[in-house]
Amino acid sequence: MTDFDILKSMIKKEHITEAEPCGKLHKIVLKEDCPTSTYSVNITDVPRNSIAIKTDAFPDAKDFFDKSKSGKELLKRADFVVIAKCVDGPRVLYVELTERKKSHGEITNQLRGAKCVFDYCQSVGKMFWKHTDFLRNNTSHYLCVKMKGNCAQRRNFEKGAPKSNLNDVPERHHQFVRVEEVDFKIVTKRK
């Protein structure tokens, strides 16, 4: 079984979005339902066999963690994890879609929470499918798309980061405002 076969057998179908053709390339449509609206972002130029997991669907951590002692940041997680099989190894893009204003710290905690969900799935694949190389040697990238703002814009949170892999940790995520599509190869570029 491939890593993607294992993921598809591990996670319910309604929580997985597969890449779909878009001309000669492929895209994944990330759709978020909010109380006031529904919006979507296309992740374009993804490899054919890419998938997105709706990490928001993972069971609520408030039933397990004591937020009075550990803080409510442990209860957060971003909306999606996009996983693509690339020639140089799996690339993982953690994505938070938001329609309301959130602080950099709140978005960072949500991206960290999605990474924890991915790590848990990776451990399950290793332990229960006995696939010791399950999603091994992956590179992580982090992204936030804000659906409200004055104009379409892109912002990097560098904070003294080296120029390569600017979005390789949650604290240095890429941020886009009011965009309908994001090019996967650009936001997961390895330098």
How far, in Å, CA of 76 to CA of 30, rounded?
A: 19
Range of the domain at 159: 3-187
How far, in Å, CA of 50 to CA of 6, rounded?
A: 13
What pLDDT score does 158 carry? 40
pLDDT in tens, 28-75: 999 988 767 788 999 999 999 999 999 989 988 777 877 776 677 788
Q: Which two tokens stand for residue 62?
A: 């408030």
In sequence order, the β-bridge partners of residue 93 are 82, 141
In sequence order, the β-bridge partners of residue 31 are 40
Q: Is the pLDDT of residue 151 over 60?
A: no
Q: Is the pLDDT of residue 142 over 50?
A: yes
In contact, 170 and 94? CB cutoff 8 Å: yes
Number of domains in the chain: 1
Q: Which residues of 8-20 are buried (b: 16+ CB within 10 A; e: fewer)?
A: eeebeeeebbebe
The residue among 94, 79, 77, 8 whose CA lies nearest residue 38 is: 79
Q: Which two tokens stand for residue 78?
A: 């971003």
Query: Cα 18 to the chain's mean position, in Å?
Result: 14
> What pTM was computed for the model?
0.89
Please tell me whether residue 120 adopts helix, strand or coil conformation: helix
What pLDDT score does 191 carry? 55
What pLDDT score does 99 carry? 82
Q: Is the pLDDT of residue 148 over 60?
A: yes
Please, what's the largest Cα pairwise distance for the chain?
51
Reported confidence tier of residue 178, pLDDT bands at 50, 70, 90: confident
